[in-house]
Amino acid sequence: MSQKNDGAGLSVYIPMILTAAFLLGCFAIALTDVRENAGQLTAHSVVSRSDGAAESGSLRKKSAVKDSGGLRYRWVSASDTASDGGSEAVDTAANVWLSYYTETSSETPVASEEEAVSSEEGVSLPEPVSNESEPEPVPISSEEEKVSLRLPNEHYINFTPPKEGHIAYLTFDDGPSSNTEDILDILDYYNVKATFFVIYHKDMADKYKAIVDRGHTIALHTYSHDYAKIYRSEKAFFNDLARIDSYVYSVTGVHSKIMRFPGGSSNTVSRHYSQDLMPTLKESATKRGYAYHDWNVDSEDAAHNNLDPDKIVANVKRDLTKYRKPDILMHDSGGSKRTTVEALPEMIEYIYAQGYKMEGLQLDSYAVHHNF
């Protein structure tokens, strides 16, 4: 009797044991898939382009991620869409393919393809995702403002953490202009601040305001920028400077005490209108509470209209690392300086890669003075 009961009890438990084994197997398979997918989501794939050359394109919305004091960002071609909700598409003319970028914290910086090969630690990047079937292009509304710029050579940029005391100041003279909004968009994209030494331009009130509203430093470069007028006398100069201060305040609510002399504090043009005026102006500016700034890195974009962007970048690269606090001279002068806008992305990336952070000038910032 007891043997029959034991057999009946065992037959009841067998289905339960089999069911539990089946469920455990399913759980193990699912866990493996989750781990594999997680590994893919945190990978930063190598990005390539068909010709390796700089291309022209358009920038839509900011899609930068702060990391170790710099940025990492992604480009998406006109035939690609963002693979994750955290990235914005960038419409470009380049034939660029790439995998997705996921915003995850990691102590290991993203390495370029070359760095992965030569790294002593043997860190390598995963193979790029195949792009055999490309999704439909992302439509861009005709109302969206596009920023024309050149794509960098590397689409995942590994920025060097800032070195102690290394600050680069991007400065733009003679604006605002038709280029100002594009410059501001690029600066926002790279999460850097700059300084705009402005003069008076009619019907540009919104652009003066945009400089301030977007967190940049607005500074004074005289109202007229007319050498014959401003360098007649000390009184003439400061009257003209007061006019631009008054105008900037009326449209932005900011009284700036940061200034730059047209032609720089060492200009010789002023001698045609008043001998030995510049020493007087420099002394008087300081007494009046102004901080005047010259520059120690010249992009030379003022030397020619629409100087080749590669030349502009090369001029900055030539002198940048000579200084812990380089003050880089550029111009915001409409159509004649369009190539300055085109050169700006590559320039910013190079500055980041050399271990500089970029800030707007403040009243107590280091001031470059020409003493010759």
Given this model, what pLDDT does residue 295 score? Answer: 98
Q: Name the pLDDT band for 273 (thresholds 50, 70, 90).
A: very high
343-348 average pLDDT score: 96
Q: Name the pLDDT band for 19 (thresholds 50, 70, 90).
A: confident
Give the number of domains in the chain. 2
Render pLDDT for 301-323 as a digit per residue (tens, 0 to 9): 999 999 999 999 999 999 999 99
User: What residue type is assigned to position 280 of the chain?
Assistant: T
End-to-end CA distance of the chain: 116
User: Mind giving me the DSSP string for 167-178?
Assistant: EEEEEEEEE--T
User: Is residue 34 pLDDT above 50, yes or no?
Assistant: no
Tokens coding 306: 């629409």
Given this model, what pLDDT does residue 169 score? Answer: 98
Tokens coding 68: 């170790």
Percent of the chain clearing pLDDT 70 (strictly above): 60
Given this model, what pLDDT does residue 33 score? Answer: 52
- CB contact at 8 A, 319 and 326: yes
- Domain closes at, from 127, 159, 191: 159
User: Is residue 107 pLDDT above 70, yes or no?
Assistant: no
Q: Give yes or no: residues 137 and 174 share one domain.
A: no
Pick from 309, 333, 342: nearest CA to 57: 342
Given this model, what pLDDT does residue 161 score? Answer: 85
What distance in Å separates the CA atoms of residue 366 and residue 372, rounded to the nearest whole number? 19
Q: 3-state class of 320 per DSSP?
A: helix
What distance in Å separates the CA atoms of residue 177 and residue 175, rounded to the nearest whole number? 5
- Please give the model's pTM, rounded to 2 decimal places: 0.64
For residues 121 and 295, the model is more confident at 295
User: Is residue 32 pLDDT above 90, yes or no?
Assistant: no
What distance in Å separates the CA atoms of residue 202 and residue 178, rounded to the nearest whole number? 12
- CB contact at 8 A, 104 and 21: no
Q: Give yes or no: residues 213 and 349 share one domain.
A: yes
- Domain closes at, from 134, 159, 184: 159
Average pLDDT value for the chain? 73
CATH number of 337's domain: 3.20.20.370
- Domain closes at, from 107, 128, 159: 159
